[in-house]
Structure 1
């Protein structure tokens, strides 16, 4: 059973996310102030502030959810019965080479 104590790696990720959210909240305050300073209408500034706050809230929710999923995946060990599948590009695919691109010709038509 995995322990419920956070690991140092999880704590470091949490600190980075918290700092990112703080900067986003700071921007949610700073941008409307700058807009007001440069003469934007109060309604436009309020709409911008609400939009930024909504985007920040959704990003915070997604970041926290992503951290929880990543922590859950790190806690789980891969099943031993699954074979190792190498990760690679299209150059590492098995095959005879007949479908490697280039021009495709009908077999009965001579090439040339």
Structure 2
């Protein structure tokens, strides 16, 4: 068929966007393997190589945790931007707490 595609089919034809945090973690994991291999290749001691591998793995794990936390915060902020503004004290609706002076109901003011 050579006509324009309906929006649903056009959406399926486009590849999904890559998660940048996932890409960063994948490259970091790759370096956690590659760096110790290169260190061993150039004659570094096994203990030094193991220490380097452990350090890289620890840094990668901490960075992954921080990236995921940052993504969750960004998603939460985007969700809050879409929500209606709730006012100064996060109350919604019209009630007795909307400012100004209020008398005690229907009692006369003297």
Q: TM-score scaled by structure 1? A: 0.58
Structure 1 residue 81: deviation in Å?
A: 5.0
Matched, 1:71 2:84: no
Instruction: Report the count of equivalent residues.
Output: 71
Which residue of 1 is the match for residue 23 of structure 2? 19
Which protein is bigger by CA-based radius of gyration?
2
Tell me: higher relative CO, structure 1 or 2? Use CA pairs within 8 A at least 6 residues apart: 1
Structure 1 unaligned spans of 5+: 1-10, 83-112
Query: 4+ runs of 1 displaced by more than 6 Å?
Result: none
Task: Tell me, in whole angstroms, the C-alpha distance in 2 between the residues paired with 1:79 and 1:51.
Answer: 45
Q: In structure 2, list runs of 5 or more residues that go unmatched.
A: 1-15, 89-110
Structural mapping, 1:1-112, within 5 Å:
12=17, 15-77=19-81, 79=85, 81=87
